[in-house]
Structures are given as C-alpha cells and as structure tokens.
Amino acid sequence: MSRIVVIGNTGSGKTTVASRAAEALGVPHIELDSLHWEPDWVEASRDVFRQKVTDAIQIDSLVSDGNYSKVRDILWKRADTIIWLDYPFHVSFLRLLRRTIRRIIYREELWNDNRESLRMAFSTDSILLWSIKTHSRRKREYPEIMKDPEYSHIKFHRHRNPEETEAWLNSLNVTNVTSS
C-alpha cells in the first residue's frame, strides 16, 4: 500500500482516517477538500481542481481522501488501495452533526479561510442536507464503480463500521513499527 484513497459518506471520518493512515505510514496526506474549495466557499473550476489534484499526486506514496467524481479518474488510476468507509447512515450523520456544531461554535478554519456557519448549516447548500442526499447513492454507485475493469489494479477494503476501520489503522501502526 503506497497510494491509498479513503472514500465514504460525508461525515464518515475520511479526513481523520486518511490523516491517521498517512501519519502511521510516514507519507503525505492530501485532502481533496482543501484543493477544491477556494476562499469564500467558491468551488475551484473543474480544470483548476483537476490540475491541482494532478500536481498533488505526483509523489510516490500518499494517502488522500474525498469523493469527487470529477477527479476520480486521475486519483484512482494511480491508487493501489481504496478504503471505503461504508458506515450506516446514522453513524455518519451523527458524526457530521457533532462536527458541524463544533466547527460553528469554535469558528474553526477549514481551508482557505473558510468556516462553517449556522446559516450555512440550515441553507439549501447545507452539508447536512448533502449527506442525506448522497448517502444512498454512494451505497449504490460505489460497488458498481469498483467492478469497472479500469480499476482492477486496486485493492478495495469496505469497512462497514468504525471498529473495522480502527483495526485497519492499528494494523498500519504495527506494520510501520516492525518495518522500521
């Protein structure tokens, strides 16, 4: 495993898992959200985003996270491992809700000086609504995408609960310690 992509529903913990895996393996972590969101919550244009991702993944080993279909071909073509955090809706949604509330209360900076707000949380562009809209679709689409012969070089790991993910992360720490 030298090129890992972590995918999953909004709020499942993709960034946290990717960051921990990258740290355990001693490789860079690439957060796609940080490449996608410009200041003031403006989305980078498709071409700009694709170029940023292309540039970021030119390194030999990495762990990235994100579900952006507009860069899947770039990212997955070079990936050797995909970790799918396929948790039940209530697990991801409750995590997302807690995270959103924390970010609003503490005014946490995300990427490019962007911060979540109470107004955003209850708008038509709400990340909470996005999670509701995309959860079932991802559960349907990912198994089909993973069958595509274009991605036959990838080893897929489908984690259905946080305990499976934690066990996998712990195995990385053991592997990394014993190989040093």
Is the residue at 169 inside a domain? no
pLDDT score, position 173: 77
99 in a structural domain: yes
**Residue ranges making up the domain that contains 89:** 3-161
pLDDT tens across the length of the chain (180 residues)? 899 999 999 999 999 999 999 999 999 999 999 999 999 999 999 999 999 999 999 999 999 999 999 999 999 999 999 999 999 999 999 999 999 999 999 999 999 999 999 999 999 999 999 999 999 999 999 999 999 999 999 999 999 999 999 999 999 976 654 333
pLDDT recorded at residue 128:
97
Number of structural domains found in the chain:
1
**Residues facing residue 63 across a β-bridge:** 4, 29
Does residue 172 fall inside a structural domain? no
On whether residue 83 sits in a domain, the answer given is: yes
CATH number for 148: 3.40.50.300
Contact 99, 11 (CB under 8 A): yes
Q: What is the pLDDT of residue 176?
A: 53
Question: For position 156, what pLDDT does the model report?
Answer: 98
Query: 11 lies in a domain?
Result: yes
Would 105 be classed as within a structural domain?
A: yes
- Letter for the amino acid at 23? E
Is 178 domain-assigned? Answer: no
Domain membership flag for residue 166: no
